[in-house]
Amino acid sequence: MSGIEMSHDRKLTFAWLFLLVLTLGGGYLGETAEPGMAITLIVAAVIAIKGRMVINHFMELRDANQRIRRLVTAYFYVLPAMVIAVDLFGPWLSRLTSI
């Protein structure tokens, strides 16, 4: 096994372990935290971080076609923004989308 591939595998392992730590932290938060803006911000940040780690390390899109990478990565900018927007502007969004 070459040094480069060892390094790639090691990066994958570190990414996986980091993702597991974030998951256990999320579970603890779900059980203990009180509702509020703090938990909303943490949920948004965790979605953004986890998504980007999977996209860059597991899917290997970091070195792929930039258009595809940007499209997939955009999800993990838009979704955390939606999490925050729903908590900040929920009633306005509700009125906007009422029939």
Per-residue x/- marks for other proteins, 16-55, CB under 8 A? Answer: x--xx--xx-xx-xxx-x-x---xx--x--xx--xx--xx
Question: What whole-number distance in Å separates Cα of residue 51 and Cα of residue 19?
Answer: 10
Q: Which residues, at least 6 apart from 39, have a Cβ–Cβ distance to it below 8 Å?
A: 29, 33
Chosen residue from 1, 3, 63, 99 binding other proteins by CB under 8 A: 1
Q: Could you tell me the two tokens for 62?
A: 């970091």
Q: Could you tell me the CA-to-CA distances from 31 to 17, 45, 65 in Å, in that order?
A: 22, 18, 40
Site residues (CB under 8 A) for other proteins?
Answer: 1, 5, 8-9, 12-13, 15-16, 19-20, 23-24, 26-27, 29-31, 33, 35, 39-40, 43, 46-47, 50-51, 54-55, 57-60, 75, 79, 82-83, 85-86, 89-91, 93-94, 97-98
